[in-house]
Every structure is written in structure tokens, then in C-alpha cells.
Amino acid sequence: MRSICFYFQVHQPFRLRTYRFFEMGHEHHYYNDFENKHILNRVAQKCYLPMNELLLNLIGRYGDKFRVAFSISGSAIEQLRDYAPQVIESFAQLARTGNVEFLAETYAHSLASLKSKPEFERQVNLHRKTIEELFGQKPTTFRNTELIYSDEIGEMVYNLGFDTMLTEGAKHVLGWKSPNHLYSNARKPELKVLLKNFKLSDDIAFRFSHQGWKEWPLTPEKFTSWLAKTDKTDEVVNLFMDYETFGEHQWRETGIFDFMKALPAKILKNTDFTFRTPAEVSKILQPVAAIHVPYPISWADEERDLTAWLGNEMQDEAFGKLLGLEKKITNCTQPDILRDWYRLQNSDHFYYMCTKWFSDGDVHKYFNPYTTPYEAFINYMNVLSDFTIRVDEHCVENNKGEAKGEPTIQHGQHEAADSVDADKQADDGDRSHDFSFEHLKNISNAKLKKLLKDIDAENLAYALRDAGEDIRDRVLPNLTKSARQEYDQLTEKMKKIKDEDIARGRDKIAKAFNRLFNS
Amino acid sequence: MKILMFGWEFPPHITGGLGTACYGLTRSLATEGAEIVFVVPKAFGDEDQSAVRLMGASDIEIDAADPDTQEFWKRVTYLQIGSNLIPYVTPEAFRRLVEERQRQQQQPIDDLVLKAKFDFNGGYGSDLLAEVSRYALIAAGLAGKQQFDVIHAHDWPTYPAGIAAAAISHKPLVVHVHATEFDRSGENINHEVYDIERRGMEAADRVIAVSNFTRNTIIEKYGIAPDKVVTVHNGIAAATDYTGSTTRYLKEKVVTFLGRLTQQKGPEYFVEAAHMLLQYDKNVRFVMAGSGDMLPRLVRQVARLGIGTRFHFTGFLDEQEVQQLFAISDVFVMPSVSEPFGLVPLEAIRANVPVVISRQSGVSEVLDHVLKVDFWDVNALADAIHGLLTYKSLASEFRKHGKNEVSQLTWDHAAHQVIKIYEDVVAISQLT
């Protein structure tokens, strides 16, 4: 018997409320609770509850011959717990039948796999634990956010203890190969890879109710005949789709529920296919080849790339700044900060900032609470700015595994390689060569003012003479009026100045800097 | 296709955007094969006539004794001259005008208009309505002599001419609305002007609006049938690159407003947003360029809010100074309350300045790579400016796409749609 493998994705993001810059520093609630609750209840009523019931009935009728898989993001679980706990219970009921596999993913439906291995691992473990607690299964199959996959990500996933992973059967990766076999990761052959048959999946998920489609209306008979016509050597057809396809994207009136209700009988009766979960397929089939994916792919858009979430400057700045906080978050135990840390990682926030949709995509507009990507970006960055203030206040940076002392440096970038290790410098007050003007950019105005009090205008003038304009722009507005006057007069006079004077000036700043963060 | 076109101004003798728009449109219409006779009140002789044949109404004499003239005059006498008339331009000019008018002894209108020789001032002087009437009379005379297929009239001073020409020639009339009385005067409209506008729109076979924003005004406030009103967005002519000074003498970021300081341009919202921002960030300066009757009030507002050291008024700027201001600006803001189209943001974008514009502007319909807010939503306006000043990638995304987007807004594109409208009205008029 060949396998047909249904996997449904359940995810709801934490949509942000309109958050203005003047709320930064004092308003810390970021979410549009009303909208989130409203949408969740609507989807629960239109999709999750009726479709769960339908699946439960199918399992009741066909027993072991009917199996499906789910992945439910942590963000969806949190909202279901808050707004529609009966949905969690109905998923648990499905779990108890033993015919439903629950997959693991990143807890926050995050893009962490592309940027930070530790964060990725942390989220996968958190999600795995959550699923185990809720449904009594320890997931062995992994699906990444938006089916994002590369050889490297596959390797990380294998190292986290998974033996199966799902991704898109992207044409540019497969070439002439068929998605209807089991493949293996190019670096870790032990990791089996299941590829989405996007033609047959999208016939249901996207085209089902599209009256301009030449195959409309799609009937169970027709779909079954397509399955029967697949090449006889094909071993598995992977139908991966958003769960919201049923009742939300395709309304009940389109007949999507009737279609799903009638489909198993037709397939089981008229073809040699039976329903299996990803874990089962992975167990019974032998991989036909390794699949090589050096650059990440996803299940989105024609391009099957990442450009819906990352790639324009706004998305990169927003995501980069968020993950730049990671070092401080690592040791953080404050629940409200951790909660927001995850929620702000929802891939949806970056999706709203995509500028591709000006030319294409009503699909995208449908999911987007903002009128333009620019509004989405500004709103997100306002929230992120406030979140950063909180992280700076409450979290201690994790440096080389140990953290002590007051956190002082704000990292603009996640790769904070050039950051000052305050502790280290405290041990060696004279190691002023460790100091760089770049550090001044990262400390708060208050700190900078304090620092500048220690430096006389002459030394400052020397030190800043060859510093970059950005440094001067940072420093000068923080001088007192009189210091500024003195400084201006001195720089006027300093037409010719000695190198050792510059060095002396720099040295003074470095020492004051170290003293400041030492005390 | 031969077009008899009426316009109140033509470059280089212009006072606002109307003449520029007429020039841009006619040049592109000519490349589409339209032959245009463009009638202005007064031809100066230095206009670019490569695309149109320009006729000055001043140069056309009439014979008051001619029965035809008498007949034409009957058709245009509905204009009540001497009542309170808001001229085309600014409210403060209007005030001067009314005072001037009160000092003058009015000549009987018939005598004034029916002189053999009438020297038009052009522009929008105190004799505006007499000029509008005389202009209509001459249009009627012209319509009897010229060969043409369509009459096209730009904004209300030429509507009576368009109506008269259509009545004489039985050719289809297109009126083109670049601005309505509501854009100029808010809700305190001048009813004579409103009536002239409405009669022009009613008499027209098609009404062209420069934006959907204006189209809605025409439908809702003038009661014109929606299927008669077509939106054709303005274009912007290619410009030469600015080569003057771009030195920034200020270390702070600069946020700029540029436009007439009248209620319709929403300058007070700009001041309020500036005040909000300055409470959070002192490293910003706000520049308000332009003049207008609201200036004293705005200066007082700035003083009252205590932001005078960060908020600067420049007065009226010439073209070169405008470019210089753009060169040192980080954000351009147009918070207009009512803006039929709005060319200045396009110029800002072309100068690489990211812009924030109100949704109550026609130009917001054709731009994606800008921030749009409702003019009354000062929180959103301040937040948009803050975002552009603070989050670097936003401005660079705008710079990347903005110029390209503006370069798509051509007069060729607009002219193509106008030709279609001409063909439509000609086809319909031939059926009846």
C-alpha cells in the first residue's frame, strides 16, 4: 500500500495593537487582544471545532486506515488556552485515538532557524515539551516555520533528536525528481525528509473554490482519480496545508467539509493508497536519495524562498534588532519578558512588512492587519523599542556562559562581537586598547553624560579630532553648554596637533569608561 | 482630433499648479495626435506653442452691434457680477480684493464686457468676473468660426466659455476639475463660484477629476451623476537634477512642511505633531516654508507651545530655495485637509526626501511608497515622522522605490486616458 500523508498547520500570531512612540518606556502591553480573541473565536467556530469533529468521525469509521498529522504553534496554543480551551480538548481527544501525530516546531512560529542556533534549540525544546504535556506524545517529526528548510537546518534538527522533517517539494530543488518519495538530509542521512506535493496540496488549499479553475468543482472522485494516476513507482503523496483551509480560507459553503468527509472512502476503495502519518512513512520507506538544499527554501509564493519574511531592509532591521537581544534574554527568567520575546518572534510580524505585495497578492492582503508594510514596520519597531528598554533594565547579558554585574551595553546587532566585556575590563583597568569609540554609540545618554563629566574639554577635543562624524554626533549633544563652548573653541585652535595628544585624549576616555562600568 | 481648449493660464504666466498641469497635458495630447487651440485670457507671446496654438482673448475684438454677439451675450449673462466673489487664489488675496472693489465705482457690466476691445489681465484680479464673462462671450464667437471636435475647459473661470461654445457649436463639452471651491475655501464656500462650477459640470458631457478624492467631492457635493465623472490622475513632468548646495549646517534632523499657510493645507497639525515629537526628541528641527493668512496664528501657536527654538518659518521660497530645503530635509510632510492632487510631495520624493501625506489628498491614491495618515490624527502623524527619523531602513526603502514610482506618473499616461474620453464623447454625440 502506498501512503497518503496529511499534515495540517495550526497557527495564530499575536497581532499587535497600534503602539505609538510616546508610549515607549511606560506602556508595556503590545497586543490587540480584542482582534486576537475575535479572530481566534471565529476560526475556532468555523474551522477548528467542526473540522476536528469531522476528523474524529472519520477515525471512528475507518480506524487505523485513516491517520493525519498536526503541528500547532505555541502562539496558537496560548491563544486557544485563553480564548477557546475547548479546542485544546478536542485536539487532545484526537490525540487519544492514537491515529494522529503531533509534530514539533519552533514555539513562537519563529524564523530563529535562519539566525540563531541556540534560540532555535530553545524554542524547539519548549514546543516539544508543551506538546508532550498537552497530548502525551513526544514528537519525533519536525516541521519548521513556513516549512523553511536547508541542509544546515536539517542537520540542526537531527541533532535535536528528530528523525523526520517536512519541507516543500520546491521545483528548483527537485529538478526532475518527484516529491512522491522519501528523501534524506544531505549532511545527516539519518534524517528523513518528506516533501510537499504542492500541486495536489494546493488543489485543495488554494484552488478548491476558485470558479475560474478549469477543474472546478473539485470532487472526491476527481481528486481520487488524480491520485490513482500518479506514477506507479511513487510511494507517498504528501498533502501539507494550513488547517484554516477548512472553513476559514475555504468557507463551509464551498463544500470543503463534504469533500473531506467523502474523500477517505473514495481513496481507500478506489486506489492502493492508505493514510499514514509522517513518522510512519519515515519508518516504512527507504530514502531514495539525499536532497541538496544549500540555500533555505519555504512553502511560500512562486519563488518558494524567504522573501516574504526577510530580505527587504525593514524586515532585516527589525529581525536583526530583535535577535540582537538574545544574549540578554538567555539568562532572563522574568516571565513577562520571555512571553513578549516569543510573541515578537512570530514570523507574521515580518510578513506584514513585505513590500512584494504591491504588485501581487490578494492572498497576502487577506492576512494582513496593516494597510501598508511601512505602517507594520513602524508599529513593530515602536513595540520593539519599548521591549528593548525593558530588556536592558531587567536582563543580564550572558557573556561566555557567565553573567554578573550591571548590564550596561546595548547591542545594536545580534553579532555583538565588538561589544565591551565590562567584567573583563574591570580586571585590567589599564587595558585601554580594548576600548573603541564604537562603544560610545551603544551606551545610554545618561551614561554618556556621566562619562563626559570625567573628561576635560581639551582631552575630548584631541580624542575626537580623528573620530568619525557619527561618534561626534553622538558625543557632542551630550556635553553641557559650557563644555560644548570650550570644546568648540579648542577645536578651532587645533589646526595642528600631535599624535600623542590624540592618544592621550583617547586614553583618558578609555580609563573613564572602564571606571564607569567598573563601579 | 481637434480640440478647442479653454484655460485660464499657461506657462510661463502662472500662479499655481493649474497652468503647469495644462501645459503638461497638452504636450502629451499633441504627441497622441490631438490638434489643440488653447484659448487664454491674455497671450504674452513668450509661451511655448510647440504643442498648442495659443490664442489670447484680448486679441479678439467684437462688434457689440452684431446680432450674433447680442445672441451670444444672452447666453452668458447669467453671471452676476459685482457680488461677493472669491477669486481663484488665496483667501488673503480675496480680502484685499473685496476692499479694493468697495473703493471702486463699478461700471455697468454690459458696457464693460461689450466694449469692442477688452484688455484681459489674465490672472485673478478684481475684474475677474467681468473677465470671465467677456472670455465666455469671445469663446462663443470663436466656437462659431473654428473647426473642432471637442471642447475642453479647465476649472471654473473657463466653464462659462465652455458652456457658451458648446451651445453655439453643438460639440461635446469636457470640463476638467483641478480643484473645487471646497478645496479653496473649506466649508465656507462662495456660492457664485459654486454655482458656476456646478453649471459647468452639469452642462458637460464628461467631467474629468484629477483624483478620486475630487471625484467624490463632485459627486457628493455637486450632485453630478457618478458615471459622468472620470478620474484622470495628473502627471509630473521630468525635472532637471538640482545641482546647488546640499550642505547641511544643522546637526539635527530636519522635518519640512511646504505650502500655502491656509486652513486647507493643515499647517496647524504639523505644528502639533512637532510639539509631540519635541517632547521626546530634541534633536529635530521643523521647518515651515510658505506664506499665507494663517501665518500669524501659527507663529502664536508655536510660541504658546514653547517650541520656537526648534520650529522655523521661512516665508515664501523660490524654486531654487525649495530645492535647497529638500536637500537638507529628512522628512517632508503634507498634512492637507483637502488636496485635489498635490504636486509637492512628488517633488520631495524626486529630491530623495521620504514623505508623509494625508489620506485626504489625491496624490495619496497614486503613491505606495509613502506614509499615509488622516490629517486629523496627530498621533499617527507624529508617529509616522518619528518612525522615519528613527528607523533607518524605512527611509532607505522609500528612497529605493520612491523615485521610480514617481517617474511612472507621466502626462503621457494621463493624455492617453483623456484621448479615450474625447473619443467616447464624440462617438456618443454622433449617435444623437
pLDDT at A463: 75
DSSP state of A256: H
Read out DSSP for A325-369?
THHHHTT---HHHHHHHHHTT-HHHHHTT-SGGGTS-HHHHHT-S
Pick the residue from chain B with its C-alpha nearest to A354. Answer: B397
Q: Which of B251, B391, B400 sits opposite A378 (nearest CB)?
A: B391
How far is it, in rounded angstroms, from Cα A426 to Cα A419?
14
Residues B6 and B102 in one domain: yes
A473: contact with B, CB 8 A cutoff: yes
**In the prediction, which pLDDT does B82 show?**
37
- pLDDT, tens digit, 9 for 90 and up, residues A335-390: 999 999 999 999 999 999 998 876 554 555 666 888 889 999 999 999 999 999 99
- State how far Cα B273 lies from the chain centre: 27
Which of A78, A101, A119, A146 is an active site residue?
A146
Q: Which range has the worst mean pLDDT, A47-61, A313-327, A399-413, B317-331? A: A399-413
Q: What is the pLDDT of residue B78?
A: 45
Note if A280 is an active site residue. Answer: no
> Pick the residue with more confidence: B339 or A399?
B339
pLDDT of residue A360: 53
Does the beta-carbon distance from A372 to B371 stay under 8 Å?
yes
Does B215 share its domain with B293?
no
Closest chain B residue to A357, measured at CA: B368
Residue B367 sits in a domain of what CATH number? 3.40.50.2000
Do B193 and B341 fall within a single domain? Answer: no
Do A375 and B397 make contact, defined as CB atoms within 8 angstroms? no
**Where residue A197 falls among pLDDT bands split at 50, 70, 90?**
very high
In a domain, B9, yes or no: yes
| Chain A residue numbers touching B398 (CB-CB < 8 A) | 374
Residues B387 and B421 in one domain: no
- What's the domain range around A447? 422-518
- Is A377 an 8 Å CB contact of chain B? yes
Instruction: Kindly report the CATH number assigned to the domain that includes residue A445.
Output: 1.10.220.30
Kindly report which listed range (A5-14, A146-155, A403-412) carries the lowest average pLDDT score: A403-412
pLDDT of residue A417: 38
- State the maximum Cα–Cα separation within chain B, in Å, rounded to a whole number: 73
What count of residues does chain B have?
432
Task: Please indicate, yes or no, whether residues A218 and A353 belong to a single structural domain of this protein.
Answer: no
Domain match, A162 and A249 both:
yes
Q: Is residue A60 part of a domain?
A: no
Q: What is the mean pLDDT of each run of 10 residues along chain B (432 residues)?
A: 93 81 94 93 88 86 73 56 39 54 56 67 68 84 89 94 92 96 84 91 97 97 97 89 82 95 94 96 95 92 94 91 94 96 94 96 95 97 97 93 92 96 94 80
ipTM value for the complex: 0.80
B49: contact with A, CB 8 A cutoff? no
Q: Is residue A43 part of a domain?
A: no
What was the pLDDT predicted at B86? 37
Tell me if A21 and B383 make a contact (CB, 8 A cut-off).
Answer: yes
Whether A372 sits inside 8 A of B391 (CB atoms) is no
Are B275 and B225 within one domain? no
Give the integer Cα–Cα distance in Å for A253 and A13. 26
Question: What confidence tens digit (pLDDT) does each residue in A77-123 have?
Answer: 999 999 999 999 999 999 999 999 999 999 999 999 999 999 999 99
- Picking from A372, A377, A476, the nearest residue to B391 by CB comes out as A377
State whether B264 and B308 are in the same domain.
Answer: yes
The reply to whether A377 and A442 lie within a common domain is no
Mutate to test the interface with A, among B253, B394, B400, B405 (most CBs of A within 10 A): B394
Quote the mean pLDDT of chain A: 88
The pLDDT score that the predictor gives to residue A443 is: 74
Among residues A291, A324, A357, the one where a domain terminates is A291
What is the C-alpha to C-alpha distance for residues B173 and B175, in angstroms, rounded to an integer?
6
Pick from B251, B371, B393: CB nearest A314: B393
Number of domains chain A contains: 3
Residues 247-266 of B with CB under 8 A from A: 251
Residue B277, min C-alpha distance to chain A (Å): 8
CA distance B80 to B82: 7
Say whether both B150 and B277 belong to one domain: no
Q: Count other C-beta atoms under 10 Å from residue B14's C-beta.
A: 17
- Chain A positions touching B370 (Cβ under 8 A) are 374
The total number of structural domains that make up chain B: 2
- If asked whether residues B156 and B38 sit together in one domain, one would say yes
**Interface contact B382-A477, CB threshold 8 A:** no
**Strand B35-40 versus strand B2-6 pairing type:** parallel
B393 with B425, same domain?
no
Q: What pLDDT is attached to residue B61?
A: 78
- Interface membership of B396 toward A (CB under 8 Å): yes
- A368 located within any domain: yes
Dihedral sign (CA B354, B357, B362, B366): positive
Chains A, B: CB contacts within 8 A come to 66
On whether residue B207 sits in a domain, the answer given is: yes
Q: Among A372, A378, A477, whose Cβ lies nearest the Cβ of B383?
A: A378
Sign of CA dihedral A315, A321, A324, A328: negative
Nearest to B190 by CA among B198, B181, B199: B181
Q: Which of B283, B371, B392 sits opposite A374 (nearest CB)?
A: B371
In this structure, is residue B272 part of a structural domain?
Answer: yes
In this prediction, residue A512 has a pLDDT band, given cuts at 50, 70 and 90, of confident
Q: Do A378 and B394 touch (CB under 8 A)?
A: yes
Q: Which cell is A390 given?
A: 525593558
Residues of B in contact with A476 (CB under 8 A): 251
Q: How far apart are CA A385 and CA A393, in angstroms?
A: 13
Establish if B243 belongs to a structural domain: no
Q: Do B49 and B150 sit in the same domain of this protein?
A: yes
3-state secondary structure B329-369: CCEEEECCCCECCCCHHHHHHHCCCCEEEECCEHHHHCCCC
Residues of B in contact with A371 (CB under 8 A): 372
* Whether A375 and B251 lie within 8 Å, measured CB to CB: no
Residue A22 lies in a domain: no
Same domain, A208 and A256: yes
Per-residue pLDDT, averaged over A22-50, amounts to 96
* All cell numbers assigned to A175: 529538478
Q: Are A249 and A323 contained in the same domain?
A: no
Asked if A206 and A271 sit in the same domain, the reply is yes
A169 and A247 assigned to the same domain: yes
Residues A84 and A122 placed together within one structural domain of the fold: yes
CA distance B134 to B118: 8
Q: Is residue A404 part of a domain?
A: no
pLDDT(A427) > 60: no
- pLDDT above 90 coverage of chain A, percent: 71
Question: What confidence tens digit (pLDDT) does each residue in A433-487 have?
Answer: 456 676 777 677 777 777 777 777 777 777 777 677 777 777 887 787 777 878 7
* Single-letter amino acid code for the residue at B82: G
pLDDT, average across residues A277-292:
97
- Same domain for A440 and A355, yes or no, is no
Peptide bond into A264 cis (omega under 30): no
Q: Compute and round to an integer the Cα radius of gyration of chain A.
A: 28
Q: Is the same domain home to A106 and A193?
A: yes
Helices marked H in B116-243: 128-145, 159-169, 181-185, 191-203, 212-222
Residue A247 lies in a domain: yes
Interchain CB distance below 8 Å, A314 and B276: no
Mean pLDDT to the nearest integer, A45-70: 97
Residue A209 sits in the same domain as residue A354: no
Q: At which of A374, A394, A414 does a domain end?
A: A394
Whether B68 is covered by a domain: the verdict is yes
Which residue range is the domain that position B423 belongs to? 2-235+411-431
CA A363 to CA B187: how far, in whole Å?
41
Interface test with A, best of B393, B396, B398, B408 (most A CBs within 10 A): B393
Identity of the residue numbered B90 = T
**Residues A185 and A74 placed together within one structural domain of the fold:** yes
Q: What is the pLDDT of residue B79?
A: 44
Examine residue B37 and state whether it is found in any structural domain, yes or no.
yes
Q: Are residues B220 and B344 in the same domain?
A: no
Same domain, B86 and B193: yes
Shortest distance between the Cα of B396 and any Cα of chain A, in A, equals: 8
* B386 interface with A at CB cutoff 8 Å: yes
Confirm or reject contact between A316 and chain B (CB < 8 A). yes
